[in-house]
Amino acid sequence: MFPVECDFTVCVCVCVCVYLLCLTMPLIQCISPHGYLIKKEAHFFPPLYALSSVKGRGHNRALDNMRDCYCTVNLDQEEVFRTKIVEKSLCPFYGEDFYCEIPRSFRHLSFYIFDRDVFRRDSIIGKVAILKEDLQKYHNRDTWFQLQHVDADSEVQGKVHLELRLSEVITDTGVICHKLATRVLECQGLPIVNGQCDPYATVTLTGPGRSDVKKTKVKKKTNNPQFDEVFYFEVGITNISYFIFSPSLWLCYRVDLWNASNLKFGDEFLGELRLPLKFLRQSSSYEAWYFLQPRDNGNKSLKPDDLGSLRLNVVYTEDHVFPSDYYSPLRDLLFKSADLEPVSASTAHILGEVCREKQEAAIPLVRLFLHYGKIVPLISAIANAEIKRTQDPNTIFRGNSLTSKCIDETMKLAGMHYLQVTLKPIIDEICQVHKSCEIDPVKLKDAENLDNNRENLRQYVDRIFTVITKSGVRCPTVMCDIFFSLRESAAIRFQDDPDVRYTAVSSFIFLRFFAPAILSPNLFHLTPHHPDPQTSRTLTLISKTIQTLGSLSKSKSVRILHSFPPPFSGFLGIPTHLLNVFMIKRAQGRKRFGMKNFKKRWFRLTNHEFTYQKSDHPLCNIPIENILAVEKLEEESFKMKNMFQVIQPERVLYIQANNCVEAKDWIDILTKVSQCNKKRLAVYHPSAYLNGHWLCCKATADNTPGCTPCTGGLPANIQLDIDGDRETERIYSLFNLYMVKLEKMQEACGSKSVYDGPEQEEYSTFVIDDPQETYKTLKQIVDNVKTLEQEHAQYKRDKFKKTKYGSQNPLVLPMLLDYNSHHP
């Protein structure tokens, strides 16, 4: 069993999709959630407003009450996301996604609806607050929540650390007196009010006919104050048992937290804690953390129906990630998937079979295999198996299979920067200019001309289609390799269909990559918010046209695409000739002995490799993925102009171009084709390594890291940030969740019907090509999952031993907190 002090990580993620709809009509179903994230949707109608008055959008009374509304997503009271403002509407629509890793502990995931006021502070219409413990109840389920009223006394977060002791004291006169010693140690996670938090605490002992109040010092500019102050209260009852068990004489201990404010309205309330003292025992010390609670002011809450409701689809994940060694057996089993025959018996394929949705399996699989550079063999294997099962070339990759979901997720991760470089400039223009492209005569507005709109649409489509077809050189290598594999498998399977090698790829690059990004640019980070209705309609028309042109059906679109053969072939992974020219290169020192002289060679660049040759056969092949950087070389190195360097893992190739323009062209295009390489350098040496040292920084070791930042390549903020251990933990969680299906699949492998009889209906959903091999893999999966399950169970037992309760009083909510929980 692993030790309690073992280093592990708790990872929590949340994604929110926001839609605001009107409640005056029958409720509208939301868009289905994407992946294992958190999605959200909302509606409301104005308080104290009859439904019958809102049904017509043109009603004068409704127009008078139009609002400029937005929604925020909050961890407790800390805002982490805000939608755009939809103006003059009682039923605004947002359609916005939000995803985040949650970096700290929290109590509530809250959603606030605001009404913007340009002259005063924005007013809060209402909120929905979901306890962290309740998030799993609503996991991946569409649920309606009533909006709740918001006031200052209900907006509470944070916790307080207290120590209480009830002791018996004999005074000088011989009278027995009971004293309550209370120590306020510290608070954590208090809210920041109006940009500042200067907290202090008041401690009160109340009872029949008494109310004793004491106050701590104010702690400036902190929401985690350290008080460590002790206060004493005389209980004044000699019969302690009578004090404990007599309800009429119960005393209540209360701690209130305040923010010291200079405003005329007084100090702001931050939260309170009430503890009946009946649970105390003489000479016993009670120390614990307690959550702060809203103020109990006795006011009656307003009816929640006055505000409306909020629709949420919450997918919340919390992973306890162990050190990497714990996952080695399961990870090794996963990595064998690409080489196992048949691939349907592999661990990765089985995960796709047992999960309720293929997307559930695809997300952690792709992230794990992409992190370790093994995604291309995996997708090639499962795609080849799917193509072999496909009977009609027109339906190739048209379903939501594990292959299609894995490719979608790979394009989303590896191609995000490529997508932004290609589409963002023109998408920004479309959103800003607002040219009308409506071509449906029924939807035309007054003063709009159908011919002008058609021309606007044609120009947009022509420009977008051109930038797409000319962007092949920037397509990430991993995507090109996948497309090349799809092309080859499809061509072998359907040899009589010359177009299938193109349709197999275009179904992804156009229909599932560029077209969705154009249709919903906010989901691909091309725009910060969902576009306005007119722009959204324009993007919809462009997206549909691009889908048609990219479908490569037997139509005019085939001829259009064939007018762009070189760049389009770049998507297919086909070696595309980009540049060919004679240049002078310096010997790389690949041989241990020999002169490093300069020779003229024929250089050839494709989207797969960079080569040079003397005659018909290449002397050196440099795979594109081995290019770490391409930079200028300072003239002083060899006293030669127009030189540049191609940096590889073990050596540097120095090249002299024929002129400065040619040198720049080579640097630019080599940088573009290699910009998505995983190990690109951040720094380089601008001068050569000669006579035992680098001329630029004088370092003597030839493997000394560079001294100057690279000028090309990917910005640091778009590098993939993937935790392989966490993704393996997610895969374990999925297998554990669907253990019943794993057992059913084991039964299917052992069933006689799998071998020589008709399949039983309960087993018909599984793809089992080799029952024996599949059963062997299933057994290994179950064994690994059970081992990890034992580790998790032991972790929970050890954590429980370290956990201490707050109030034991059933009238006060039990607050179970880890003593170490205040160390995020």
pTM of the predicted model, to two decimals?
0.68
Q: Which residue has the higher pLDDT, 238 or 13?
A: 13
Higher-confidence residue: 567 or 280? 280
* Average of per-residue pLDDT across 46-60: 29
Task: Give the side-chain half-sphere CA count within 13 A for 810.
Answer: 0
| 71 close to 112: Cβ distance less than 8 angstroms | yes
What is the pLDDT, as a whole number, of residue 32? 27
Range from 295-309, 417-431, 467-481, 602-616 carrying the lowest mean pLDDT? 295-309
**69 burial via Cβ count (<10 Å: 0-12, 13-18, 19+):** buried
Residue bearing the bigger pLDDT, 607 or 564 = 607
Of 77-81, 761-765, 785-789, the range with the highest mean pLDDT is 785-789
Residue 620 confidence (pLDDT) above 70: yes
139 & 233 share domain: no
CATH code at 462?
1.10.506.10
Residues 373-388 have pLDDT tens digits of 899 999 999 999 999 9
Question: Can you give the pLDDT at residue 474?
Answer: 78
454 and 503 within one domain: yes
List, as one string, the DSSP characters of 543-565. Answer: HHHHHHHHT--SSHHHHHHHTSH
> Strand pairing of 42-43 and 20-21?
parallel
Q: What radius of gyration do the chain's Cα atoms show?
A: 33
Q: Which two tokens stand for residue 529?
A: 């918010």
**Burial, 96: exposed, middle or buried (Cβ in 10 Å; 0-12, 13-18, 19+)?**
buried
Residue 239 domain-assigned?
yes
| Distance in Å from the first CA to the final CA of the chain | 25
Check residue 214 and give its pLDDT: 92
CB–CB of 632/643 below 8 Å? yes
Output the pLDDT for position 286.
82
What's the mean per-residue pLDDT of the chain? Answer: 77
pLDDT at 532: 83
Q: What is the DSSP letter of 712?
A: S
Q: Output the six-digit token pair for 165.
A: 């002791």
Same domain (yes/no): 561, 421: yes
Beta-sheet pairing, 609-613 with 618-623: antiparallel
**pLDDT average, residue stretch 284-302:** 72
Least confident of 150-159, 325-334, 773-782: 150-159
- Percent of the chain beyond pLDDT 90? 28
**Residue that terminates a domain, selected from 314, 346, 361:** 314
Contact 767, 759 (CB under 8 A): no
Flag whether pLDDT at 428 surpasses 90.
yes
**CA separation for the pair 272, 261 (Å, rounded):** 18
Average confidence (pLDDT) over 474-498: 87
Q: Same structural domain for residues 602 and 564?
A: no
Residue 387, in any domain of the structure: no
In degrees and rounded to multiples of 5, residue 98 shows phi and psi of -140, 130
Residue pLDDT, tens place only, 329-341: 999 999 999 999 9
Mean pLDDT for 133-151 is 83
Counting Cα atoms < 13 Å in the Cβ hemisphere of 646 gives: 32
Residue 473's closest CA among 646, 632, 623, 605? 605
User: Is residue 319 situated within a structural domain?
Assistant: no
pLDDT at 565 over 70: no
Q: Is residue 396 part of a domain?
A: no
Contact in structure between 363 and 409 (CB atoms under 8 Å): yes
**Interatomic CA distance for residues 541 and 50, integer angstroms:** 38
3-state secondary structure at position 92: coil
pLDDT, residue 12, reads 61
Asked whether the beta carbons of 50 and 360 are under 8 A apart, the reply is no
Query: For residue 170, which amino acid is it?
Result: I
Going by pLDDT thresholds of 50, 70 and 90, the confidence category of residue 563 is very low
Q: Lowest-confidence range among 306-320, 393-407, 453-467?
A: 306-320
Is the domain of 563 the same as that of 616?
Answer: no
Number of domains in the chain: 4
pLDDT at 58: 31
Q: Is residue 85 part of a domain?
A: yes
Three-state SS string over 276-316 comes to: EHHHCCCCCEEEEEEECECCCCCCCCCCHHHCCEEEEEECC
Domain boundary among 568, 596, 614: 568
Backbone φ/ψ region at 244: left (φ over 0), alpha (ψ -120 to 50), beta: alpha
Whose CA is closest to 334, among 734, 794, 625?
734
536 shares its domain with 418: yes
- Tell me how far apart the alpha carbons of residues 720 and 679 are, in angstroms, rounded to a whole number: 11
Most confident stretch, 570-584, 724-738, 793-807: 724-738
Q: Kindly tell me if the per-residue pLDDT of 152 is higher than 80.
A: no
Whether residue 458 is contained in a domain is answered as yes
Strand-pairing partners, residue 643, are 656
Q: Which two tokens stand for residue 617?
A: 């056969």
Q: Same structural domain for residues 209 and 140?
A: no
Mean pLDDT of the 624-641 span = 89
| Predicted confidence (pLDDT) at residue 755 exceeds the cutoff of 70 | no
Q: Is the pLDDT of residue 435 over 70?
A: yes
Residue 102 lies in a domain: yes
Backbone φ and ψ for 355, nearest 5 degrees, come out as -70, 145
Which range among 498-507, 612-621, 749-758, 765-774 shows the weakest confidence by mean pLDDT?
Answer: 749-758
- Residue for token pair 């601008």: 686
pLDDT of residue 171: 66
- Letter for the amino acid at 499? D
Last residue of a domain, one of 529, 545, 568: 568
Three-state SS sequence of 156-219:
CCCEEEEEEEEEEEECCCCCEEEEEEEEEEEEECCCCECCECCEEEEEEEEECCEEEEEECCCC
Domain that holds residue 188: 159-291
Determine contact, residues 110/39, Cβ cutoff 8 Å. Answer: no
pLDDT of residue 183: 92
Give the position of tokens 């080599």.
670
Q: What's the pLDDT at 761?
A: 56
Residues 587, 628, single domain; the answer is: yes
714 has a pLDDT exceeding 70: no
Examine the domain organization and report whether 143 and 169 are in the same domain. Answer: no
Confidence band for 57, pLDDT divided at 50, 70 and 90: very low
Residue 44 has pLDDT above 70, yes or no: no
CATH number of the domain that 598 lies in?
2.30.29.30
Regarding whether 620 and 534 lie in a shared domain, the answer is no
Structure confidence at residue 424 as a pLDDT band (50, 70, 90)? very high
> Which of 34, 141, 142, 144 has its CA nearest to residue 97?
34
Q: Could you tell me if 253 and 109 lie in one domain?
A: no
What mean pLDDT is predicted for residues 771-796? Answer: 93
The CATH number of residue 105's host domain is: 2.60.40.150
432 domain residue, yes or no: yes
Provide DSSP, 485-539: HHHHHHHHHTTT-TTHHHHHHHHHHIIIIIHHHHH-GGGGTSSSSPPPHHHHHHH
The predicted structure's pLDDT at residue 52: 24
Residues 198 and 279 in one domain: yes
Residue 583 near residue 611 (C-beta atoms within 8 A)? no
Torsion region of 524: left, alpha or beta (phi above 0 gives left; psi -120 to 50 gives alpha): alpha
Tokens of 9: 């990580």
User: What distance in Å separates the CA atoms of residue 396 and residue 501, rounded to the nearest whole number?
Assistant: 10
Cβ proximity of 201 and 187 under 8 Å? yes
CB atoms near residue 708 (< 10 Å): 14
User: Residue 239 above 50 pLDDT?
Assistant: no
